[in-house]
Amino acid sequence: MHVSSYQKLLAVLLVCISPAPYVFAAEPASEAARSNEAEGSNPAVAVVKQIKTPRIRVVDATIEAVQQATVSAQIRGRITEISVDVDDYVEKGTVILRIRDKEQRAAVDVAKARFDEADAEYLRKKEVYVKGLVAKSALDKAEASYRAAKATLAQANESLEHTQVRAPYSGIVVKRHVEVGETARIGQKLMTGLSLEKLRAIVELPQSLIHNVRKHKQTWVWVGKNLDRRIKAESLTVSPFADPVSHTFLVRINLPTGEHSVYPGMHTKVAFLTGEKLSIVIPAAAVVKRSEVTGVYVIKDKQISFRYIRLGGIVAGQQQEILSGLSVGETVLLDPDGAVMAIKSQEKSEKE
């Protein structure tokens, strides 16, 4: 009796389906099936199953620099030189601005002369004191003068150092607050900069999520030019108190050190682990995408059909989460091309 090619293909597929629910079929049920699989004529199938997967909550966030500061003037004086401008990259310790230092240099010279004098007097008094030629009070007075002169010299050197404003860390200048020729006042803003070496994402979380976020402390951040890559956060810090108006908690998520193609002020997405859930999954290889249509090929009642599905994320390695369109225990084909051929044979058989 003649058997159609469609019936042969269905027979092979049905042999491959494991009778146990929630488990992928791994072994053929007959010697004939094993032979067909070795020849590549046995399309693989899988049974839809349900597993525990992480419960993820995705929220909007903003990227900011961990190190960002405004450098202010420590002394009063006229600005004589500005070495960098907005968008310039500077190394830590680089002089970015100079203030007129004539007065400070004069003060250093005076302090140095007084220190040298006090030092010499102190050494002389020590020598004669050892010989018993002066009283202990005279030595103490010379020592006090020496210490005072030393402190005055250190203070003068510190004031001179303040005429050269240096970058507190390596980073980029984002704002310049003064111009050459202006007189800087003590405390006046000079330059604002930030470092791209350490970045973080900040987000306001509702109080309903905060306990689970603190419990699991696992977070992922989307990075890349098109936010097409997800990396695990290095650490996170949750504010100990909520905003009294919005009732949200500020959370700071630190990114690993490195180049991630994201910059301060950019919008991104952050995923928080909040617990576990039961998910319906199939192997990712079973998913078929045809233009804007996503689906799978399902075997039911000895018939192969295309089923529309709605996808979740990739979980447990190469398992695809299914939000709708499939039920636990159904069987899907892992070879879309073989499924198309089977459907064509099926339609041809029905016409005959």
Tens digits of pLDDT across the chain (352 residues): 444 444 544 444 444 443 333 333 333 333 333 333 433 444 588 999 999 988 989 999 999 999 888 999 999 999 999 999 999 999 999 999 999 999 999 999 999 999 999 999 999 988 888 888 888 888 899 999 999 999 999 999 999 999 999 999 888 999 999 999 999 999 999 999 998 888 999 999 999 999 999 999 999 999 988 888 889 999 999 999 999 999 999 999 999 988 788 889 999 999 999 999 999 999 988 999 888 889 999 988 878 888 999 998 888 778 899 999 999 999 998 887 777 777 777 666 666 6
| Alpha-carbon separation of residue 267 from 64, 69, 224 (angstroms) | 10, 21, 12
Please tell me whether the overall predicted TM-score, pTM, comes out greater than 0.75 for this model: no
Return the closest-CA partner of residue 79 out of 223, 226, 220, 179: 179
Rounded CA-CA distance 158/156 in Å is 5
pLDDT at 351: 64
How many angstroms from the chain centroid is the CA of residue 276?
A: 23
Domains of the chain: 5-53+278-351 (2.40.420.20), 58-67+196-276 (2.40.30.170), 68-96+167-194 (2.40.50.100), 101-162 (1.10.287)
The torsion angles phi and psi of 31, rounded to 5 degrees, stand at -65, -35
How many angstroms from the chain centroid is the CA of residue 195?
A: 15
pLDDT at 255: 93
pLDDT at 257: 85
CB 219 within 8 A of CB 203: no
